[in-house]
Structure 1
């Protein structure tokens, strides 16, 4: 009897392990930087059940820190990241395992938002500009903006504070004087009396702002899962145009704004071509990122080779 009980317990334990491992195989933890409109394809795909239809149990985590996302990719804590490509590129060019597998925001959706008393770029002298992080995203673009007004990096302070919602909070509290804000936060800032010093795309027309990133050690071992996730994301991207009312409702909920402002942000996203068609990577935008990394001394000065940074095979397979 004891032997039978031990055997039965062993089977139950093994079965439970199988169930747990099966759930783990179906689960994907996906990291994003903050709550901004270019994540709408992801939120809409989840809302419409596209990931579930692909057999994926999706968990979305907001990090508000790009460096931590890359650490999580390497450790396997998250399997996919929709985040900035700068450190992905630096890692890939140095022989690392991180890669870009699809595009997301292929142009910059930001406006230069400043305290009400700041009326021009030149007025940023001696001021504090809030950015995402020390080495990611729009951080590399601040000098391109300020030098147009004759300012040098030492003429102002650049402070890493986190994503766009955090920057908006710090702008209102006076802890920073300016920040690069995407819509609809830029709309809210203007309505509150803050200065809009112009679109960032007016200074930098081409820039791969966010992309879909992975650690190839996981991706190669889970090709079908990654392909399925990209397929769900593409369906979410397509659904924005097909179901505008649902898209606006989901965006309003996730961005914590009104549906009219969400609908305006979606319309401006389409008008400005922020989200790349078919989730393709913007090669001119990625090349511009490479130029910024070279200028900052973060990668070697050599001709840009997209094949060392991008693996497009997963996106092709998703079609």
Structure 2
């Protein structure tokens, strides 16, 4: 009799049965980026059920206080995986962290160099204060590359560390900063308010890896199956986002997530559809040449020792290979 009751229970409640079989992974991300454009791959994967399809119960753990704290949470065992800006992973590993990148996230997000109305060209930035992010941050590194591409060297201006797009815009509006890098959609709002765009960071090269998903090497060795499923789920999200057939749906997700109009959503998502912008990986592949480029720029900026270590010190391709992606 009890066997019949159990069989009836699982037949009536199949979702409960599936949930009981799911592997739980705790996924850390910057609390400030929840629902933002940088979370689009996660949002798509959750909406399309890619984690559940892989037998995963992904529990998103918001980490307050900045991306450097995500590695700290990983090292403490408070999360199993997490998204982080590549430079923060590199700096943590050089200080002894067991963290390692296992899949690429957004590779080259769109940042605009927004300037005050009186700035008419790059030459006008000489002798001015520029509000960048922290030294070694990918936003700072890509902005410096754009400036160098236009013959503006670090000695030509004064850099001020200002963390966060909204804080940098405040610096610009106050007149303290002459130029700042801004992400989407805030850059479009600044332009509407009369602050011109001098250029996009990708104009100096779209060959970096801004963000990665990571785990601890030791934990990963013991939980390979779960991480391969995790990698496959995100790979499916990137494939879905890169498929032209899904552009209308994705534009709508951007509209809903950022609470913007159809027109702005289409403008924001447009670079994602252009292969030369390299905003997204095709399937989450980790391009070691691009990773080495980040290391080289960090070395040139003096934020890590030189000569810099190779990318494979910070990357583990086993999970991508086991998932048949790389």
Question: In which range does the TM-score fall when normalised by the shorter chain?
Answer: 0.7 to 0.9
Which residues of 2 match residues 33-182 of structure 1 at below 5 A?
A: 34=33, 36-53=36-53, 54-59=55-60, 61=62, 63=64, 65-92=66-93, 96-147=97-148, 148-153=150-155, 155-162=157-164, 164-168=165-169, 171-172=172-173, 176-182=177-183
Distance 1:230 1:195 in 2: 39
Task: Decide whether aligned partners of structure 1 residues 27 and 191 sit closer, same or farther in structure 2, where only a CA change above 3 A counts.
Answer: same
TM-score between both structures, scaled by the size of structure 2: 0.78
How far apart are 1:311 and its partner, in Å? 0.5
Distance 1:311 1:244 in 2: 32
Distance 1:48 1:169 in 2: 37
Distance 1:150 1:178 in 2: 13
* Number of equivalent positions: 297
Match of 1:56, SS state, is: strand
Which residue among 19, 25, 28 is the counterpart of 2:26? Answer: 28
Unaligned runs of 5+ in 1: 1-21
Partner of 2:312: 307
In the alignment, structure 1 residue 250 sits paired with structure 2 residue 250:
no
How far apart are 1:78 and its partner, in Å? 2.9
How far apart are 1:174 and its partner, in Å? 5.5
Partner of 1:259: 262
Task: Decide whether aligned partners of structure 1 residues 298 and 56 sit closer, same or farther in structure 2, where only a CA change above 3 A counts.
Answer: same
Match of 1:311, SS state, is: coil
Q: Deviations over 1:160-216 (max 9, x none)?
A: 322x35544654565644322234333333233211111112224422111222222
Unaligned runs of 5+ in 2: 1-19
Task: Decide whether aligned partners of structure 1 residues 233 and 93 sit closer, same or farther in structure 2, where only a CA change above 3 A counts.
Answer: same
Partner of 1:222: 223
Distance 1:41 1:81 in 2: 13
Distance 2:185 2:152 in 1: 30
Distance 1:158 1:204 in 2: 23
Task: Decide whether aligned partners of structure 1 residues 296 and 125 sit closer, same or farther in structure 2, where only a CA change above 3 A counts.
Answer: same
Choose between structure 1 and 2 for higher RCO, CA contacts under 8 A separated by at least 6 residues: 1
Task: Decide whether aligned partners of structure 1 residues 255 and 217 sit closer, same or farther in structure 2, where only a CA change above 3 A counts.
Answer: farther
Distance 1:131 1:254 in 2: 26
Distance 1:303 1:29 in 2: 29
Distance 1:268 1:218 in 2: 36
Partner of 2:297: 292
Task: Decide whether aligned partners of structure 1 residues 184 and 282 sit closer, same or farther in structure 2, where only a CA change above 3 A counts.
Answer: farther
Q: Deviations over 1:91-135 (max 9, x none)?
A: 445653121111123335222112222222233345443334343
Distance 1:62 1:165 in 2: 19
